[in-house]
Amino acid sequence: MGTKRFIAILAAFLPLLSFAQGDLVIINGVGNRDIPPAYRISMNPTIIDTTIGAPVQQYPLLSLRFPTNIHVDTIKPVTIKVEPKLQQLYSTYVKLGVGSELMPLGEVYFDSKRSRKYVYGVHAKHLSSFGNFTGFAPAQFDRTRTNAFGAINEKNYSLRGDVHYNNQGLHYYGWQIPTDSVDRSTIAQRYQDVGGAFSFDSHKKDSAQLNYKINVAYNHFNSKKPSDSLSAWRGSENYIAVGGSGWYRQGKEVFAAEANVRYNGYRYGTPSDTLQFAADSGLVLNNTVINLKPTVTTQLWNNRFRAIVGFDFVVDAHTQTKVHLYPVAEVKYSLFNDIFIPFIGVRGGLKQRTFRSTVDDNEFVLSNLQLKNENTSIDVYGGVKGSLSSRISFNVNASFARVKDKAFFITDTTFSVGNKFGLIYDTLNQTTIEGSVSYQLNEKLKVDAIGRYYSYLLLNNTYAWNLPQWQAGVRGSYNLYDKFLVNLDVNFEGGRKALVYAMEDGVTIENGQMAKSLGLITDINLGLEYRYNKRISAFIQFNNMASQRYYRWYNHPVQIFQVMGGITARF
């Protein structure tokens, strides 16, 4: 409806409304009003909550069904790992073989089986050769070694002892003369070696107690006598050593001390007498060395850092009595969980030279020798060692040493025709650089490689006679299914010089001394073993596979390619 129409209707009704509202009329009257009686409400007052509760809505549960897939997995049977049984031990091992150049070989081991308390055994080995070298004197040799040992191991101590007897025969074959023109008895030599050692070790578990070791040793060594009437005219010596050491741990320090008395009595011929000519006179040398060596070792930083400090006090009672004091110090630190272990140290010492140790170095020596102790006044060394992995380890080091009365073997022309060696002594400064690496894959594969370089500076001689300037070697073993065993040994040496007294091919003269190069040593040896079972096996050994007739000593060549084969048995 429009606004104008609404106003018109309202204006039409206004007069009617005004007439209905006339004057007010009031009427007065009299009457009775009934009032109902009052009564008491019997109900108690209560509070009526006016809040209206919201109704609770009920929702039915949805009926949902999910498909269930049932799959039964295959359960592997339970396996129980049983630790492998200890390998069966056999008390006896025998090795028999024969090689080219008529070389018989025999070896026997007899050992006790597993025992926590008692250990004992016997070992014997024989190797000989009936071969010769074309154009040289007879070269046959034989070596027999025997050793018996025993030990008692208790909770707090151990007793150990051994005795040995060695017999070695050889010929001074370094003489270029037809073999048939030489009487073998005139160039024959035989060394006999008998002795024994005893030691007592305490190994108490309580670190607050002192542990100690006591050792005693005796050895007799002699060469062949010329004849029954000249039995005294041979090299002979008696060696006696008594020593002990002790150590005590307190906190992170270990206090230790070592003391030794070593006596060696060397005798050749009768004192003040001569044999054949004036130069071959009797010798009696009493050589006693006494030393006391206290040290302190400490470890820090979870044993990553280790240091040892001490000294070695030595009394040298030989032709003259001298006193020496040598330093003992070494520091090393483990980096990256033993991956790299750098170390540095300084040391020194007195090496007692005996007739036996000289023959071990060179069996073609004279029996009348002037023996002097080797005095290393200082030896400084350092390097790094460690492991690149669980299978690879390495060692790189260098050292510098100053040695007085260093012994060198030179060809003798005074008492022989040049087929024997004597000793000269000189002061030597020696620098050595060495590196090695090892790889091991369980007991299956093992490989070691090493290389050394030497630098010599002598006081009176031009060269360090018969010593190599460098060495290199590789050694490896491979085990295929514990059925086939392969061993490889490769050695190289170079830079060796020999002092000679006559001009010949390859001889040079320097500082008035004649020197001849001994050439390169290339020695390759390969061994193969086939195990038929745990008790029986067969072996074959190839020696000097390069077939090089190199000279180990001046005028002393070695056999060329050799083959040796045989069997082994355990029972």
The pLDDT score that the predictor gives to residue 33 is 59
Task: Tell me how far apart the alpha carbons of residues 218 and 150 are, in angstroms, rounded to a whole number.
Answer: 17
C-alpha to C-alpha distances, 216 to 148, 161, 163, 313, 519, nearest whole angstrom: 16, 9, 12, 21, 43
Which of 434, 325, 448, 435 is closest to 377 using CA atoms?
325
> Cα–chain-centroid distance for residue 50?
98
Q: Which residues contact 34 (CB under 8 A, 6 or more apart)?
A: none
**pTM value?**
0.81
The pLDDT score that the predictor gives to residue 52 is 52
Task: Tell me how far apart the alpha carbons of residues 182 and 398 are, in angstroms, rounded to a whole number.
Answer: 48
The pLDDT score that the predictor gives to residue 281 is 82
Burial of residue 260 (number of CB atoms within 10 Å: 0-12, 13-18, 19+)? middle
Task: Tell me how far apart the alpha carbons of residues 498 and 483 are, in angstroms, rounded to a whole number.
Answer: 46
Q: Tell me the β-bridge partners of 436.
A: 395, 450
Task: Tell me how far apart the alpha carbons of residues 307 and 253 are, in angstroms, rounded to a whole number.
Answer: 10
- Tokens 């070691």, residue? 448
The pLDDT score that the predictor gives to residue 442 is 86
The pLDDT score that the predictor gives to residue 116 is 86
Strand 283-300 relative to strand 253-268: parallel, antiparallel, unpaired? antiparallel
C-alpha to C-alpha distances, 421 to 137, 213, 259, 528, nearest whole angstrom: 16, 39, 35, 37
Tens-binned pLDDT, residue by residue, of the chain (571 aa): 455 555 555 555 545 444 444 455 565 555 565 666 655 555 666 655 555 555 555 555 555 555 666 666 677 776 666 666 667 788 999 999 999 988 999 999 999 988 889 999 999 999 999 988 888 999 999 999 999 999 999 999 999 999 999 999 999 999 999 888 888 989 999 999 999 999 999 988 776 789 999 999 999 999 998 866 677 789 999 999 999 999 999 888 999 999 999 999 999 988 777 766 556 788 899 999 999 999 999 999 988 999 999 999 999 999 899 999 999 999 999 999 889 999 999 999 999 999 999 999 999 999 999 999 999 999 999 999 999 998 999 999 999 999 999 999 999 988 888 899 999 999 999 999 999 999 999 889 999 999 999 999 999 999 999 999 999 999 999 999 989 999 999 999 999 999 999 888 889 999 999 999 999 999 999 999 999 998 999 999 999 999 999 999 999 999 999 999 999 999 9
Q: Dihedral (C-alpha) 53, 55, 56, 62: value to the nearest 10 degrees?
A: -160
The pLDDT score that the predictor gives to residue 113 is 87
- What is residue 320's three-state secondary structure? coil
- Rounded CA Rg of the chain: 50
388-571 is classed CATH 2.40.170.20: yes
The pLDDT score that the predictor gives to residue 158 is 96
The pLDDT score that the predictor gives to residue 16 is 46
